[in-house]
């Protein structure tokens, strides 16, 4: 396997590139369509490359459609959910690893259980409760919903990270006269930075990519997030595919950038989280 | 089964396993500090998970008509379980999940083996292959709606150019082709994740085992059968269980592409639930469907938890 002959490597590369072409073609087509003028979108046969590529559709979605607004909404709820969920998860993970070295099992099993719940089941009571509390069409409703399903995984992951920080460090800080909160904030949190980054990213992307919760909890178009706004454009009488694909690209780009920059962090965290519960 | 320690066992020590404890750092009040740190999450999860879950059960025992709510006992369950639409939906769910998971596993493993055998550029390739999985399922589904568009879609154009089909196919217009289409999109989205897990698994296989096999003159197929496969088997079982759990409760792709149609052909349980609650406005029935879905997911969750239990991993 390691001592593969050059011809075998070449063959492997061919197969890999063919597979890659299949996997990435939809994104190429999204980009290609988003850059076409309206007249060329419905050309038959379709053009795989065009000399008329322009950013007009992007200008259109930001000027004539509320895609900018959707973008800001997505950003607010994803950032809010990240902040809330990372704060709560860090507190819990610290408390569990430092103060309950043996009693944490039932709580951890509960976390595992909540990770498995079908979100469609929870969406019904969420809708009823949020509408009773007059929280439909608010950022708060979405932030709470996203935090609720990001938290179990976040706590779970952070427990692992906090475990790896030796307890002697806490003890040294206490010796030096630090209070519990000071130890947590000034000593432990900075050491847990890689873990906090991974969890923050994970929550942000989960919230950014989520669709069903926003679909149910927002009815006012000015409160739509990107995923809902985009899926809604499909229902129009005559779909402007170049504008729709431009909006899809706007939704996909931040995710792609974040992932490729921080791939290492996330991949380790996600593989560990999946296999280890 | 000969179970190997899974990937990542080293990265995340299990919280349930007690650690060797040194002298207490915070004196006798430690327990109260502990409660104070854990309380916010415990309260939050009660408010956003336990309470809604309880409310869902409560709703499943009531008939909800606007502001009027009447207790009906198990009538919703009786009606839902007596309705052919539910059993049809369960069948569609099983076909969708079975086909999707089988293809995720087969293609994910194949891709991982390919990438693992490459000598250069593995990391950039892994990022590229991961793209469909990063992007929101709802957005991915929207892109596929355009690709599959009957008249101007590029899929129909390519198939006609290659003489696979003779005319435009309305992929989402017939129950059978619509189900195949949503499975294809789910496969496109789900394969990268399995590939990622398998790549991580492949990296944990000791090289000596391959070297020993090479010395014994094993062919590539034999090396796969006697070294790779036994080493990956545990991971494959865990990953497919997790994938079943995630696929059977997935809503977004089908919700965006077909909303369950045509004629219920793609109406998996989560979509049936959504349609019952938010289109037909029958919250009681929808909650009963949700509880049925929960039972289904829990059955697989128990398998998953047992597989990844720390004592099992450590015993291996």
Distance between CA atoms of B124 and B296, rounded to whole angstroms? 38
Q: What is the pLDDT of residue A105?
A: 73
Report the topology of domain B81-315: MetI-like fold (1.10.3720)
Q: What is the pLDDT of residue A24?
A: 95
Q: Check if the beta carbon of residue B93 is closer than 8 Å to that of residue A120.
A: no
User: In chain B, pLDDT over 70 holds for what percent of residues?
Assistant: 88
Q: Do both A207 and A228 map to the same domain?
A: yes
Distance between CA atoms of B138 and B57, rounded to whole angstroms? 28
Q: Do B9 and A42 touch (CB under 8 A)?
A: no
User: Which ipTM value was assigned to this complex?
Assistant: 0.90
Tell me, yes or no, whether A33 lies in a domain: yes
Q: What is the pLDDT of residue B139?
A: 95
Q: What is the pLDDT of residue A119?
A: 85
Distance between CA atoms of A19 and B43, rounded to whole angstroms? 47
Tell me, yes or no, whether A1 lies in a domain: no
- pLDDT, tens digit, 9 for 90 and up, residues A106-145: 787 788 788 888 888 899 999 999 999 999 999 999 999 9
Query: pLDDT averaged over chain A?
Result: 86
Q: Do A151 and B45 touch (CB under 8 A)?
A: yes
Nearest CA in chain A to B9: A276
Tell me, yes or no, whether A199 lies in a domain: yes
Least-confidence region, from A165-174, B97-106, B137-146, B178-187? A165-174
Q: What is the pLDDT of residue B5?
A: 41
Q: Does B37 touch chain A (CB under 8 A)?
A: yes
Considering only CB atoms, which chain B residues are within 8 Å of A101?
18-19, 21
What average pLDDT does the segment B136-158 reach? 93
Q: Do both A44 and A112 map to the same domain?
A: no
Q: Do both A30 and A123 map to the same domain?
A: no
Q: What is the pLDDT of residue B7?
A: 41
Q: Do both A155 and A243 map to the same domain?
A: yes
Considering only CB atoms, which chain A residues are within 8 Å of B149?
241
Domain extent for A16 = 6-59
Q: Which residues touch A100 (CB under 8 Å, ≥6 apart)?
A: A107, B34, B38
Tell me, yes or no, whether A245 lies in a domain: yes
What average pLDDT does the segment B37-62 reach? 90
Tell me, yes or no, whether A93 lies in a domain: yes
- pLDDT, tens digit, 9 for 90 and up, residues A105-116: 778 778 878 888
User: At residue A183, does pLDDT exceed 60?
Assistant: yes
Question: What total number of domains does chain A contain?
Answer: 2
- pLDDT, tens digit, 9 for 90 and up, residues A25-58: 999 999 999 999 988 888 878 888 888 888 888 9
- pLDDT, tens digit, 9 for 90 and up, residues A197-233: 888 988 999 999 999 999 999 999 899 999 999 998 8
Q: Do both A23 and A129 map to the same domain?
A: no
Tell me, yes or no, whether A152 lies in a domain: yes
Q: Do both A235 and A153 map to the same domain?
A: yes
User: In chain A, pLDDT over 70 holds for what percent of residues?
Assistant: 92
Task: Pick from B143, B159, B181 the residue to mutate for testing the A interface (most A CBs within 10 Å).
Answer: B143
Q: Do both A168 and A259 map to the same domain?
A: yes
Q: What angle do CA B93, B238, B114 make, to 5 degrees?
A: 95
Domain of A183, CATH number, reads 1.10.3720.10
Q: Does A231 touch chain B (CB under 8 A)?
A: yes
What average pLDDT does the segment B36-44 reach? 89
User: At residue A277, does pLDDT exceed 60?
Assistant: no
What average pLDDT does the segment B266-294 reach? 93
User: At residue B30, does pLDDT exceed 50?
Assistant: yes
| Chain B closest-CA separation from residue A221 CA (Å) | 17
Q: Do both A52 and A141 map to the same domain?
A: no
Q: Do both A196 and A79 map to the same domain?
A: yes
- pLDDT, tens digit, 9 for 90 and up, residues B67-82: 778 888 898 999 989 9
Q: Which pTM value belongs to this model?
A: 0.88
Q: Do both A49 and A169 map to the same domain?
A: no
Nearest CA in chain A to B285: A124
Q: Do both A245 and A174 map to the same domain?
A: yes
Distance between CA atoms of B70 and B59, rounded to whole angstroms? 10
Q: Do both A51 and A109 map to the same domain?
A: no
């Amino acid at each position: 396997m390691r001592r593969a002959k050059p011809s075998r490597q070449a063959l492997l590369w061919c197969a890999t590139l063919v597979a890659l072409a299949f996997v990435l073609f939809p994104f190429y087509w999204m980009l290609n369509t988003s850059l076409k003028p309206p007249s060329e979108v419905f050309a038959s046969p379709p053009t795989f490359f065009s000399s008329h590529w322009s950013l007009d559709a992007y200008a259109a979605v930001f000027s004539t459609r509320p895609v900018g607004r959707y973008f800001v909404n997505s950003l607010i709820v994803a950032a809010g959910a990240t902040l809330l969920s990372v704060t709560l998860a860090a507190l819990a993970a610290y408390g569990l690893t430092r103060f309950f070295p043996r009693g944490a099992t039932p709580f951890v099993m509960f976390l595992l259980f909540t990770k498995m719940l079908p979100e469609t089941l929870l969406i019904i009571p969420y809708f009823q409760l949020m509408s009773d509390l007059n929280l439909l069409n608010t950022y708060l409703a979405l932030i709470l919903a996203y935090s609720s399903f990001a938290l179990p995984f976040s706590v779970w992951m952070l427990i692992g990270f906090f475990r790896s920080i030796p307890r002697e460090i806490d003890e040294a800080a206490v010796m030096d006269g630090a209070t519990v909160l000071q130890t947590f904030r000034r000593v432990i949190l900075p050491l847990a930075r890689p873990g906090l980054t991974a969890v923050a990213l994970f929550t942000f992307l989960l919230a950014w990519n989520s669709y069903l919760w926003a679909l149910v909890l927002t009815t006012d178009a000015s409160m739509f997030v990107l995923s809902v706004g985009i899926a809604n454009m499909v229902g129009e009488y005559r779909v402007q595919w170049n504008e729709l694909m431009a909006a899809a690209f706007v939704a996909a780009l931040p995710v792609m950038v974040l992932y490729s920059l921080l791939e290492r962090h996330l991949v380790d965290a996600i593989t560990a989280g999946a296999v280890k519960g | 089964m000969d179970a190997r320690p899974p990937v990542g066992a080293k990265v995340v020590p299990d919280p349930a396993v007690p650690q060797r404890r040194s002298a207490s750092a915070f004196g006798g009040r430690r327990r109260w500090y502990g409660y104070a740190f854990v309380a916010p999450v415990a309260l939050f999860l009660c408010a956003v998970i336990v309470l809604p879950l309880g409310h869902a059960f409560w709703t499943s025992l009531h008939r909800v008509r606007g502001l009027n709510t009447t207790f009906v006992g198990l009538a919703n369950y009786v009606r839902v379980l007596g309705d052919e639409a539910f059993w049809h939906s369960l069948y569609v769910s099983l076909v969708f999940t079975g086909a999707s998971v089988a293809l995720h596993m087969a293609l994910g493993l194949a891709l991982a083996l390919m990438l693992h055998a490459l000598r250069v550029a593995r990391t950039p390739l892994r990022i590229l292959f991961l793209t469909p999985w990063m992007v929101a399922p709802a957005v991915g589904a929207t892109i596929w709606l355009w690709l599959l568009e009957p008249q101007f879609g590029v899929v129909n154009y390519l198939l006609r150019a290659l003489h696979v089909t003779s005319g435009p196919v309305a992929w989402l217009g017939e129950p059978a082709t619509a189900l195949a289409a949503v499975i294809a999109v789910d496969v496109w989205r789900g394969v990268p994740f399995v590939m990622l897990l398998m790549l991580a698994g492949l990296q944990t296989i000791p090289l000596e085992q391959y070297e020993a096999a090479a010395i014994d003159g094993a062919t590539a197929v034999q090396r796969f059968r006697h070294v790779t496969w036994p080493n990956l088997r545990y991971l494959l079982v865990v990953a497919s269980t997790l994938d079943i759990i995630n696929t059977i409760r997935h809503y977004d792709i089908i919700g965006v592409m077909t909303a369950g149609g045509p004629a219920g052909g793609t109406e998996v349980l989560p979509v049936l639930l959504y349609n019952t609650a938010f289109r037909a406005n029958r919250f009681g029935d929808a909650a009963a469907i949700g509880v049925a879905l929960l039972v289904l997911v829990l059955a697989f969750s128990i398998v998953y938890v047992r597989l990844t239990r720390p004592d099992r991993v450590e015993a291996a």
